[in-house]
């Protein structure tokens, strides 16, 4: 199998093992990978050091939620990722450790609590993966899906909870200084409007009499 197939297969197996719902499963890994690729391509000319870190960026982007403490014990998840990366000889030992650091420190909650880690020459790679994940967070339906998996499928409550999360968190990503790259700043404005449109559409659908 190709490297990409191996990684996505690992995601498939992990989502089944830990019952990770689709909001943090395969489609999310794919979306973060696409944004990571866009960010890499937009920044590599300005930061040539990224040329030697491209695989690290993509591996971290694809696998980042396979140790998410919302679904599993973090240490167990990260150890399984390490075993996979070493067993398949995907990254060298130093890169494996850097990838683990990226995945351990990139979440919104971790950054808000502890700030940005000091990653040295891997700082740009870290920010690419982190910002790719943040851009993926603008998917309003994904947020609703996560909430519905937690509340037993109540779409009305999931919608209300998702709106609050977007108002208090996602729509403030730029104001909170979470984006450093120009691509992320521009794309987040586009995604902001897409999310607002989706919220408006859901508002209408939820008020359709025959849907109640």
Q: Residue 173: which CATH number? A: 1.10.3210
For the stretch 85-106, pLDDT in tens is: 999 999 999 999 999 999 999 9
Domain count along the chain: 1
Q: What burial class does residue 77 get, using C-beta atoms within 10 Å of its C-beta: 0-12 exposed, 13-18 middle, 19+ buried?
A: buried
* Total-model pTM: 0.97
Contact criterion met (CB below 8 Å) for 40 and 128: yes
**Average of per-residue pLDDT across 57-69:** 98
Query: In the 8-state DSSP scheme, what is residue 107?
Result: S
Its domain, for residue 65, covers 3-211
For the stretch 155-197, pLDDT in tens is: 999 999 999 999 999 999 999 999 999 999 999 999 999 999 9
Backbone phi, then psi, for 161, in 5-degree steps?
Answer: -65, -40
């Amino acid at each position: 199998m190709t490297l990409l197939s191996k990684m996505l297969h690992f995601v498939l197996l992990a989502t089944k093992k830990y019952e990770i719902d689709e909001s943090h499963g395969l489609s999310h890994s794919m979306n973060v990978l696409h944004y990571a690729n866009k960010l890499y391509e937009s920044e590599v000319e300005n930061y040539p050091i990224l040329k030697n870190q491209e695989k690290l960026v993509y591996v971290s982007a694809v696998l980042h939620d396979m140790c998410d403490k919302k679904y599993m014990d973090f240490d167990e998840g990260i150890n399984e990722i390490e075993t996979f990366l070493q067993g398949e000889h995907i990254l060298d030992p130093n890169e494996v450790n850097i990838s683990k650091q990226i995945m351990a420190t990139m979440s919104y909650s971790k950054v808000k609590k502890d700030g940005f880690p000091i990653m040295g020459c891997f700082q740009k790679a870290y920010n690419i993966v982190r910002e790719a994940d943040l851009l993926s967070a603008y998917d309003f339906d994904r947020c609703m899906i996560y909430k519905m998996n937690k509340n037993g499928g109540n779409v009305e409550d999931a919608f209300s909870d998702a709106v609050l999360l977007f108002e208090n968190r996602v729509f403030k990503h730029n104001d909170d200084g979470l984006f450093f790259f120009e691509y992320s700043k521009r794309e987040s404005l586009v995604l902001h409007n897409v999310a607002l449109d989706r919220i408006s559409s859901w508002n209408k659908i939820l008020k359709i009499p025959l849907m109640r």
